[in-house]
């Protein structure tokens, strides 16, 4: 295992169709990439119905592993690109990582 005391995970949840612009903005902010998942939301702003049947809106969830020195810059880029300051557009939050594997390219960049 690799220590990840200097890495964070930025989790971003946005409406379907916005993930690509979030990833593009995070790369411009210093991230090297991201992983995109599909999901469904149940927020208070998404209580829509079709013929009386509740519709669960599709969401995209973006995981971005980032070194802590870039976290604030990337988070701001994500917020701006996703217009997250507006209601019902999405959410982003940061989780400190305790351990991580599979970031060999990042570790090589730090060494040399």
Give residue-wise pLDDT tens across range 87-105: 889 999 999 998 888 865 5
CA dist., res. 11 & res. 34, Å (int): 10
| CA distances (Å), origin 72, targets 29, 45, 46, 55 | 9, 27, 29, 35
Query: Which tens digit of pLDDT belongs to each residue from 18-54?
Result: 999 999 999 999 999 999 999 987 665 556 666 766 6
Is the pLDDT score of 82 beyond 60? Answer: yes
Domain boundaries, the chain: 2-111
| CATH 3.30.70.120 is the classification of domain 2-111 | yes
For 41, residues 6+ apart whose C-beta sits below 8 A from its C-beta are: 13, 56, 57, 58, 59
CA dist., res. 32 & res. 28, Å (int): 9
């Amino acid at each position: 295992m690799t220590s990840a005391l200097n890495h964070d995970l930025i989790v971003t949840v946005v409406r379907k169709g916005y993930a690509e612009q979030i990833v593009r903005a995070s790369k411009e902010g210093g991230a090297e990439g991201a992983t995109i998942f599909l999901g469904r939301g149940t927020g208070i702003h998404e209580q829509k119905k079709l013929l009386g049947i509740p519709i669960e809106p599709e969401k995209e969830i973006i995981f971005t592993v980032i070194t802590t020195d870039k976290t604030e810059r990337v988070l701001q880029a994500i917020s701006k690109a996703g217009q997250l300051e507006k209601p019902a557009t999405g959410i982003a939050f940061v989780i400190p990582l305790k351990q991580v594997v599979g970031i060999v390219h990042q570790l090589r960049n730090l060494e040399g």
